[in-house]
Amino acid sequence: AQSVTQLGSHVSVSEGALVLLRCNYSSSVPPYLFWYVQYPNQGLQLLLKYTSAATLVKGINGFEAEFKKSETSFHLTKPSAHMSDAAEYFCAVSGLNKLVFGAGTILRVKS
């Protein structure tokens, strides 16, 4: 069965600092992996996805993630945080034609 673990339910960074949100997955088959972002009172929006092509995936708003099979990780990064990045972020793995989501990480950006 597929599962996702997001390390840290809350992450706080200063504006301009590196953003690193951690995601580890478990999958019995080669996974497809996703990062979604949720702004307050909105639905989820796809940031980026890994579908077995390039291991470094670039997404919207300057985010990127690297698939590391040996570490079963798919961490999300952004070189320089902006106030507008404050939101909740969800990592998800595709398995058995369904998505399995992590518990989410709330990103706070301090001015």
Q: Which residues make up the interface to another protein (CB under 8 A)?
A: 9, 32, 34, 36, 41-46, 49, 51, 90, 94, 97-99, 101-104
Q: CB–CB of 98/11 below 8 Å? A: no
Which residues are paired to 32 by β-bridges? Answer: 94
Q: From the CB of 62, what's the least distance to another protein, in Å?
A: 20
Least CB distance from residue 54 to another protein, whole Å?
A: 14
Amino acid at residue number 28: S
Comparing CB distances to another protein, the nearer of 73 and 95 is 95
Q: Minimum CB separation from another protein for residue 94, in Å?
A: 4
Buried b (16+ CB within 10 A) or exposed e, 24-38: bbebeeebbbbbbbe
